[in-house]
């Protein structure tokens, strides 16, 4: 008897869908993403004219359009299945927006409150706990796993690597697999 390895990328995307689906109606639409953007703005206390607020808003608007383009849904909302398939397709399609690189940089820029090109444990915990609503123990574990050199900060390079692992790695033990808690 053979067993099939779990599709870890699917599990990660299912968790993302469940987190983004703010009203738990089984669909994701732009209003769900706008609520996510609003959580970023609130968690990091960004003003309307703060470039980081504009950057995260712009990224998620483009990301949403890429999901719709790849899902080709009926209307402006995605079921969990359409969401997963659209993310898989958009993550490898670099013809317009590279969502993997764009996501990593836009989120990192938002988290890096003081612009030192590093994310502290506190800045990262805010990202996971207040924006993505992940429990504190999972947030701390994710931070330590992403801090590859153990210097107490996540560099842009370390964060981008984790973003790539999130979208591309089927290994549940990579740092990028911890964005929404242990898979």
In sequence order, which residues have a C-beta less than 8 Å from that of residue 37 and are 6 or more positions away?
A: 56, 57, 60
Number of C-beta neighbours around residue 74 at 10 A = 7
CATH assignment of the domain containing 55: 1.10.238.10
Closest CA to 120 of 90, 140, 138: 140
- Residue 6 in any domain: the answer is no
The kind and range of the H/E element at 120 are strand 118-120
Domain residue limits at 127: 26-169
User: Contact at 8 Å (CB) between 143 and 121?
Assistant: yes
Is the residue at 20 inside a domain? no
In a domain, 83, yes or no: yes
Q: How much of the chain, in percent, has pLDDT values that exceed 70?
A: 95
pLDDT tens digits for range 53-83:
999 999 999 999 999 999 976 779 999 999 9
Q: How far is CA 35 from CA 19, 26, 32, in A?
A: 11, 16, 5
| Count of the separate structural domains present in the chain | 1
The answer to the question of residue 2 being in a domain is no
Q: Is residue 79 part of a domain?
A: yes
Within-domain flag for 9: no
Please report whether residue 8 resides in a domain: no
Domain annotation covers residue 12: no
State if pTM tops 0.75. Answer: yes
- How many whole angstroms separate alpha carbon 69 and alpha carbon 18? 21
Per-residue model confidence as pLDDT tens digits over 121-155: 999 988 888 898 877 777 788 889 999 999 999 99
């Amino acid at each position: 008897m053979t067993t099939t390895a779990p599709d870890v990328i699917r599990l990660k995307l299912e968790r993302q869908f469940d987190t983004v689906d703010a009203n738990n109606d089984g669909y994701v639409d732009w209003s769900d993403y706008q609520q996510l953007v609003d959580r970023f703005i609130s968690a990091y206390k960004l003003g309307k004219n703060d470039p980081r607020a504009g950057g995260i808003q712009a990224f998620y608007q483009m990301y949403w359009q890429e999901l719709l383009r790849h899902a080709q849904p009926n209307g402006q909302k995605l079921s969990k299945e359409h969401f997963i398939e659209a993310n898989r397709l958009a993550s490898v399609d670099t013809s317009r927006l590279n969502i993997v690189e764009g996501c990593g940089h836009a989120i990192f820029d938002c988290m890096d409150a003081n612009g030192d090109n590093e994310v502290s444990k506190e800045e990262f915990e805010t990202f996971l706990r207040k924006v993505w609503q992940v429990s504190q123990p999972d947030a701390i574990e994710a931070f330590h796993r992403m801090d590859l050199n153990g210097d107490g900060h996540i560099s842009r390079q370390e964060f981008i690597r984790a973003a790539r692992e999130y979208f591309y790695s089927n290994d549940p033990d990579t740092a990028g697999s911890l964005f929404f808690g242990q898979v």
